[in-house]
């Protein structure tokens, strides 16, 4: 070829190439590449996430996540696992008509999917998971004919799955996990014959699982957990023979597990946890052992029957969870064959019997949880073989016996939890290498704390509370360098709290309810890690040191019920993290330091039962988080500041280690004055408002009704006046309403029951209320206690009683109720106490009264009842007190109440003695009619003698008491039950130890005391005033005029008559109330015990109280800090707290020998005051025991 020709050809070829390149570029630019460029431009705000898209040197088909097939884009993968786009869903994506793969997962895309996306008919994979997309799935998704994978997990899609989804014939995977889809599943899902994976978990689907799912015979993975599916599990599930994993947990499925489940022999995991499935586990479950089932989770259903033996055939099982079911019977012994088992969880499964030792054959077992069952017996030795065990949890069963030594052989164990059982004996050596948690709370372990406990070098949490460990701390924990939680409360440990505890890494230190004494070591306050210190209920003393502020991390400080004295240290205000402070039950004095209110994180503050005084500072307003304030039983005074409600505004969430009681505002038993402030309505979260025992006046502010969360309101023992319940006073959550001992007047609102429908207790006693009881009260279904005594209520008491079927106590005594009792009482089947004495109720006592099977106390005395006492009333099992006196009964007393004797009309009243019902004496005509039977008279005299001797001793013991004497009786005769009002002067026979009976009448008593002139007063006790009176023959007697409770009874006058004791009372000698009286020394007191014992052989409990007085020097009543408020309860509490040395009278400076004898008398006194009479020794035994004390070489007349 010539040169010109070659040149011409070359030029034409170049021109052709340029033309072809130009044409190709034009074609691409107007196709997918143009769409890519447009897509890039829409993402320009996040060019930092995909920088290659904005590099002009890089071809579009080589951009990150882009793959082209010739001129078309078939792959877009912008999965941004680490870098989010945070942009709306790109609308341009629908322009890539030939796109096969689209992955935009983890891109934080928002908004809705563009409609043109559903037109990509070639799309095979669509993954939009982990975005913030919303909206519905449209029926047009059926256009994606080629789609094989649809993954929409972790978005906010809603609505239902469209039935058109069955058009996706090629679909292999459908996953919509963690969205907001709802409604029923379409049955058309069963048409997706190629489907291998179906994940519907974490939505709001409901209704039945469609049985058509059984058509998906290629399904390998099915997860429908965490939805609202109901109904039974379809038997067609047995068709899914290829299934490897089935998860139906956290739904509301019902019925039983179909036996067809046994055909799913390829299952690797079966999870039906937390459903309403019930019945027995089918035996066919053992067929799953033909495959390699590794996970079986049956937790939280209602399965019953025995745990099937067939589970032991599942030899590949690594995880077995049958917890929280209603199984019965024992753990199958064959479970020892599960050699691959790693986790066995059976807490609260209803299991009983003993723990099979065969479980020790499960050598791979790491977690064994059998807690909260009814397992009993010792730990079997076979468990020693669990060489891989890491966590053993057997708490809350009935296991017993010693903790075996072989547990120390478990080299890999990290936690052992055996709390709330009956293990006894001492703890074995703890030679564990990996142990971090040991929980032996609430057992019966005893002896000293094991000296080698710190051999477990990794031990961090040690919980040994509520056992019987004794001894001192010594150096037991000195080497526990990793210990963070030490809980030893509720044992019998004593001695001092040692300083080295402050040098450990402790976060929690609980030593409460022991007998630790002395002062808190200063080194404890040097700790940098302590968050909780609980030393309550010990014998710790001294001042709370200023150094407490050094524990800057402290959140909870509980020092209640100790012997701390002095003032509250102002340095507490430096504890900025303090949330809970309790100094309750000490001897602290002074005012609340203002610095304390710098603890702005305080949630609970309890300073009750101390000797604190002064006003509540206004700076309490700084405690914005406060929701629990107890200042009761102190000497605080002044007005309640409005700022007290600056807290009580929110309920904090309790942390995992401390359950916070919130909502209590307790200012009771102080000296607060003035009105209850209207600002109390701002205490929004108050649940218990306790203001009793102060000097509040004025009316109840209507604003209290704004406390919507209030459940208990106690305003008793104040000087409040006005209406008890103002109109519009609505408190629908109130359960307790206590307004007794005030000066409320007027009537109760008619709608009381409807505005307070949750009331369980109403106490309106000792006020000046009038009118009738509103019938709505008896419509309160939850009401169990109603006391309206000592008011002026009138009308009928029985109009609506029948509606209150839950009432336990009804006290309507000392009012003006009238009418008849009626049969409405018969509906009060739970009533145990009925007291309507001193009213004007008439008619007959209804026979239906005998239907009250729970009745223990019945007093209808001093009314106008007539007729006969109903049969079978006293036949009620458990009826301990009954009083029919002061009425107009006739006829015979039922034999169940007393021996059958005639009850004659027109009988005069006989005085009520010692709390017993009045006893009628016979009229003159009756006496002549019976011919003055000598035998009968002798019997009456003997009864009177015994009764008055008993009364005399009761009066001596209770002379200083605060309440009226109440005596439970077993009725023995008609004269204890019946009486009739009379205008005749009352008289009574009295007897002294040295003299015979003498008849005394009221006229003589009035004359001998000159109408109870102050000149004759010789004493004043808790039950009344004592007067000196002279008998005609020169004998001197003492007459007690009672404040309450009947003895000699004439109209409203009550007297107790006994022999005058010229040397005064035992109370005077013990408490030295007269300047000239010297305190009795111990030998004299002991002689009083011995001499009194011989004369009081019939008075066990009362004599025990006298002995307690002699040993303690305390009054028999007035111990307000303990239950019952009496000396017996106080001594029991002190002894049980290990504080018996503080029981002895501190005024006695006795030797140790003498104290031994005092403790001996204390033990005898305690045995005489047992609540159960059968446990008390006879007085002959008491005399013998006291004589044995004499024989002891205590130097009674020497060093003692």
Looking at the whole model, is its pTM more than 0.85? Answer: no
List the Cα angle 25/30/31 in 5-degree steps: 95
**According to the model, what pLDDT value does residue 898 have?**
52
DSSP 924-958: HHHHHHTT--HHHHHHHHHHHHHHHHHHHHHHHHH
pLDDT-derived band at 852, boundaries 50, 70, 90: confident
- And the tokens for 637? 């005074």
**According to the model, what pLDDT value does residue 1185 have?**
80
Q: Which residue is it, tokens 């320009």?
A: 44
> Among 168-172, 356-360, 761-765, 1160-1164, which stretch is predicted with the lowest mean pLDDT?
1160-1164
- And the tokens for 419? 């709390």
- And the tokens for 265? 């022999």
Counted residue by residue, the chain has a size of 1200
**According to the model, what pLDDT value does residue 1152 have?**
61
Q: Is 761 annotated as a binding residue?
A: no
Closest Cα to residue 1121, out of 668, 601, 728, 496? 668
More confident position, 285 or 69 = 285
Per-domain residue ranges for the chain? 1064-1200
**According to the model, what pLDDT value does residue 724 have?**
83
Taking only the tens place, the pLDDT of each residue in 220-279 is 999 999 999 999 999 999 999 999 999 999 999 999 999 999 999 999 999 999 999 999
Give the count of beta carbons closer than 10 Å to the beta carbon of residue 785. 17
**According to the model, what pLDDT value does residue 655 have?**
44
Burial classification of residue 304, based on how many CB atoms lie within 10 Å of its CB (0-12 exposed, 13-18 middle, 19 or more buried): middle
**According to the model, what pLDDT value does residue 690 have?**
96
Give the integer Cα–Cα distance in Å for 1196 and 1190: 8
**According to the model, what pLDDT value does residue 595 have?**
95
Give the integer Cα–Cα distance in Å for 252 and 273: 10
**According to the model, what pLDDT value does residue 27 have?**
38
Residue 131 has what DSSP assignment? S
Give the integer Cα–Cα distance in Å for 811 and 991: 35
**Residue 1061 pLDDT exceeds 70:** no
**According to the model, what pLDDT value does residue 1132 have?**
83
Give the integer Cα–Cα distance in Å for 242 and 293: 13
Give the integer Cα–Cα distance in Å for 674 and 652: 32
Give the integer Cα–Cα distance in Å for 1087 and 1109: 14
Residue 509 pairs with which residues in a beta bridge? 486, 533
**According to the model, what pLDDT value does residue 1149 have?**
59
Please give the torsion angle defined by the CA atoms of residues 668, 1125, 540 and 556, in that order, rounded to the nearest 10 degrees.
-40
**Residue 1002 pLDDT exceeds 80:** no
Three-state SS letters, 151-186: ECCCCEEEECCCHHHHHCCCCCEEECCCCEEEECCC
751-762: average pLDDT: 90
Helices 1152-1168 & 1127-1136, crossing angle to 10 degrees? 120
> Among 663-667, 768-772, 881-885, which stretch is predicted with the lowest mean pLDDT?
881-885
Residue 133 pairs with which residues in a beta bridge? 111
Give the integer Cα–Cα distance in Å for 1028 and 1061: 10
Taking only the tens place, the pLDDT of each residue in 301-351 is 999 999 999 999 999 999 999 999 999 999 999 999 999 999 999 999 999
**According to the model, what pLDDT value does residue 967 have?**
30
Give the integer Cα–Cα distance in Å for 980 and 991: 26
**Residue 989 pLDDT exceeds 70:** no
**Residue 417 pLDDT exceeds 80:** yes
- And the tokens for 553? 């991390």
Q: Are 951 and 914 in contact (CB under 8 A)?
A: yes
**Residue 1117 pLDDT exceeds 50:** yes
**Residue 1015 pLDDT exceeds 70:** no
Taking only the tens place, the pLDDT of each residue in 418-432 is 999 999 999 988 888
**Residue 813 pLDDT exceeds 60:** yes
Segment holding 6, helix H or strand E: helix 3-29
**According to the model, what pLDDT value does residue 803 have?**
56
Mean of the per-residue pLDDT values of the chain: 81
**According to the model, what pLDDT value does residue 951 have?**
45
Taking only the tens place, the pLDDT of each residue in 114-125 is 989 998 999 999
**According to the model, what pLDDT value does residue 40 have?**
82
**According to the model, what pLDDT value does residue 931 have?**
38
Question: Domain spanning 1064-1200 has what CATH number?
Answer: 1.10.510.10
pLDDT-derived band at 1057, boundaries 50, 70, 90: low
**Residue 479 pLDDT exceeds 70:** yes
Closest Cα to residue 596, out of 566, 569, 618, 615? 569
373-382: average pLDDT: 95
More confident position, 9 or 884 = 884
932-939: average pLDDT: 41
**According to the model, what pLDDT value does residue 193 have?**
94
DSSP 464-490: --SSEEEE--TTTTTT-TT--EEE--S
The top-scoring range by mean pLDDT among 86-95, 623-632, 901-910, 1025-1034 is 623-632
488-493: average pLDDT: 96
**Strand duo 891-892 + 902-903: pairing:** antiparallel
CA distances from 395 to 439, 671, 712 (A): 8, 48, 35
Taking only the tens place, the pLDDT of each residue in 494-516 is 999 999 999 999 999 999 999 99
Give the integer Cα–Cα distance in Å for 829 and 876: 12
**According to the model, what pLDDT value does residue 248 have?**
97
**Residue 1044 pLDDT exceeds 50:** no
**According to the model, what pLDDT value does residue 1126 have?**
79
DSSP 180-234: EEEEPPPGGGGG-TT--EEE--SSEEEEEPPGGGGG-TT--EEE--SSEEEEEPP
Burial classification of residue 766, based on how many CB atoms lie within 10 Å of its CB (0-12 exposed, 13-18 middle, 19 or more buried): buried
**Residue 1050 pLDDT exceeds 50:** no
Q: Phi/psi class of residue 914: alpha, beta or left (left: φ > 0; alpha: ψ in -120 to 50)? A: left
């Amino acid at each position: 070829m010539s040169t010109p020709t070659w040149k011409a050809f070359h030029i034409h070829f170049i021109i052709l190439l340029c033309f072809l390149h130009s044409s190709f570029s034009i074609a691409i630019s107007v196709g997918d590449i143009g769409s890519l460029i447009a897509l890039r431009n829409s993402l320009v705000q996040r060019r930092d996430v995909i920088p290659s898209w904005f590099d002009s040197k890089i071809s579009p088909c080589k951009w990150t996540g882009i793959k082209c097939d010739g001129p078309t884009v078939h792959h877009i993968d912008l999965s941004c696992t680490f870098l989010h786009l945070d942009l709306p869903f790109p609308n341009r994506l629908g322009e890539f008509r030939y796109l096969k793969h689209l992955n935009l997962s983890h891109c934080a895309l928002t908004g809705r999917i563009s409609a043109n996306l559903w037109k990509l008919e070639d799309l095979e994979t669509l993954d939009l998971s982990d975005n913030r997309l919303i909206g519905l799935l449209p029926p047009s998704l059926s256009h994606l004919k080629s789609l094989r994978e649809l993954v929409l997990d972790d978005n906010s899609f809603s609505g239902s799955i469209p039935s058109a989804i069955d058009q996706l014939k090629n679909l292999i995977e459908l996953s919509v996990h963690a969205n907001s889809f709802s409604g029923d599943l379409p049955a058309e899902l069963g048409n997706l014959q190629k489907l291998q994976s179906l994940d519907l978990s974490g939505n709001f689907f409901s209704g039945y699982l469609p049985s058509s799912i059984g058509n998906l015979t290629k399904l390998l993975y099915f997860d429908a957990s965490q939805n609202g599916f109901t109904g039974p599990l379809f038997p067609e599930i047995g068709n899914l023979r290829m299934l490897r994993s089935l998860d139906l947990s956290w739904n509301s499925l019902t019925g039983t597990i179909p036996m067809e489940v046994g055909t799913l022999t390829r299952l690797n995991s079966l999870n039906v946890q937390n459903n309403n499935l019930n019945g027995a586990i089918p035996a066919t479950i053992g067929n799953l052992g033909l495959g390699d089932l590794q996970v079986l989770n049956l937790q939280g259903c209602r399965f019953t029957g025995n745990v099937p033996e067939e589970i032991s055939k599942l030899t590949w099982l690594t995880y077995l969870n049958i917890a929280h079911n209603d199984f019965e019977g024992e753990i199958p012994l064959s479970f020892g064959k599960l050699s691959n088992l790693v986790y066995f969880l059976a807490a609260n499964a209803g299991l009983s019997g003993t723990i099979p030792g065969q479980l020790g054959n499960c050598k791979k077992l790491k977690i064994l949880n059998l807690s909260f069952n009814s397992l009993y017996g010792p730990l079997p030795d076979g468990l020693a073989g669990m060489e891989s065990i890491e966590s053993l949890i057997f708490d809350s069963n009935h296991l017993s016996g010693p903790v075996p030594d072989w547990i120390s052989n478990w080299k890999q164990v990290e936690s052992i939890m055996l709390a709330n059982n009956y293990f006894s004996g001492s703890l074995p050596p703890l030679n564990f290498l990996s142990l971090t948690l040991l929980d032996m709370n609430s057992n019966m372990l005893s002896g000293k704390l094991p000296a080698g406990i710190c051999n477990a070098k990794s031990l961090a949490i040690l919980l040994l509370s509520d056992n019987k460990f004794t001894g001192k701390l010594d150096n037991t924990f000195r080497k526990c360098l990793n210990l963070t939680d030490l809980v030893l409360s509720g044992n019998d440990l004593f001695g001092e709290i040692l300083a080295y505890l402050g040098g450990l890494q402790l976060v929690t230190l609980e030593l409460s309810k022991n007998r630790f004494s002395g002062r808190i070591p200063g080194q404890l306050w040097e700790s940098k890690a302590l968050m909780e210190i609980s030393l309550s209920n010990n014998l710790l003393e001294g001042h709370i040191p200023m150094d407490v502020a050094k524990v800057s991390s402290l959140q909870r400080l509980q020092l209640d019920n100790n012997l701390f004295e002095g003032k509250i240290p102002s340095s507490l205000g430096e504890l900025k993290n303090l949330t809970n402070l309790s100094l309750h039950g000490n001897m602290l004095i002074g005012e609340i330091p203002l610095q304390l209110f710098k603890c702005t994180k305080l949630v609970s503050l309890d300073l009750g039962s101390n000797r604190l005084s002064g006003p509540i500072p206004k700076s309490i307003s700084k405690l914005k988080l406060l929701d629990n304030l107890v200042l009761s039983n102190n000497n605080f005074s002044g007005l309640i500041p409005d700022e007290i409600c600056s807290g009580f505004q929110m309920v904090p969430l309790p942390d995992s280690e401390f359950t916070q009681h919130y909502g209590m505002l307790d200012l009771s038993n102080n000296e607060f004055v003035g009105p209850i402030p209207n600002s109390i309505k701002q205490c929004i979260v108050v649940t218990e408002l306790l203001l009793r025992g102060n000097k509040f006046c004025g009316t109840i502010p209507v604003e209290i009704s704004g406390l919507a969360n209030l459940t208990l309101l106690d305003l008793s023992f104040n000087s409040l006046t006005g209406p008890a319940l103002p109109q519009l006073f609505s408190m629908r959550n109130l359960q307790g309403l206590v307004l007794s001992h005030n000066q409320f007047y007027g009537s109760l609102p008619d709608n009381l029951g409807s505005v307070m429908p949750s009331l369980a207790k109403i106490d309106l006693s000792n006020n000046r209320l009038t009118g009738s009881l509103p019938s709505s009260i008896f419509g309160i279904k939850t009401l169990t206690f109603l006391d309206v005594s000592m008011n002026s209520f009138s009308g009928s008491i029985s109009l609506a009683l029948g509606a209150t079927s839950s009432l336990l106590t009804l006290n309507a005594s000392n009012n003006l109720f009238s009418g008849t009792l009626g049969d409405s009482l018969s509906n009060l089947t739970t009533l145990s106490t009925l007291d309507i004495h001193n009213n004007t109720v008439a008619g007959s006592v209804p026979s239906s009264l005998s239907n009250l099977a729970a009745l223990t106390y019945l007093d209808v005395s001093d009314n106008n009842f007539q007729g006969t006492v109903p049969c079978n009333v006293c036949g009620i099992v458990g009826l301990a007190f009954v009083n029919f006196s002061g009425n107009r009964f006739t006829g015979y007393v039922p034999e169940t109440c007393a021996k059958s004797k005639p009850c004659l009309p027109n009988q005069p009243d006989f005085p009520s003695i010692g709390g017993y019902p009045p006893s009628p004496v016979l009229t003159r005509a009756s006496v002549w009619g019976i011919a003055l039977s000598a035998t009968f008279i002798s019997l009456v005299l003997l009864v009177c003698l015994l009764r008055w001797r008993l009364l005399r001793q009761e009066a001596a013991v209770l002379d200083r008491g605060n309440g009226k004497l109440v005596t439970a009786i077993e009725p023995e005769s008609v004269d204890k039950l019946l009486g009739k009002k009379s205008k005749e002067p009352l008289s009574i026979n009295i007897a002294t130890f040295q003299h015979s009976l003498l008849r005394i009448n009221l006229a003589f008593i009035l004359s001998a005391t000159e109408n109870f002139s102050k000149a004759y007063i010789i004493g004043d006790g808790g039950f009344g005033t004592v007067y000196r009176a002279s008998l005609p023959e020169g004998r001197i007697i003492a007459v007690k005029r009672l404040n309450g409770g009947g003895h000699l009874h004439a109209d409203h006058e009550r007297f107790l008559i006994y022999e005058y004791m010229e040397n005064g009372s035992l109370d005077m000698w013990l408490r030295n109330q007269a300047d000239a009286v010297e305190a009795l020394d111990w030998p004299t007191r002991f002689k009083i015990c011995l001499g009194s014992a011989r004369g009081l052989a019939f008075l066990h409990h009362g004599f025990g109280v006298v002995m307690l007085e002699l040993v303690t020097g305390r009054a028999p009543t007035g111990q307000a800090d303990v239950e019952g408020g009496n000396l017996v309860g106080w001594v029991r509490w002190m002894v049980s707290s290990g504080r018996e040395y503080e029981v002895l009278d501190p005024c006695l400076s006795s030797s140790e020998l003498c104290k031994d004898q005092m403790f001996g008398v204390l033990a005898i006194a305690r045995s005489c005051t047992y609540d159960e009479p059968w446990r008390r020794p006879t007085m002959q035994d008491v005399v013998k025991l006291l004589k044995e004390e004499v024989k002891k070489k205590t130097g009674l007349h020497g060093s003692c």
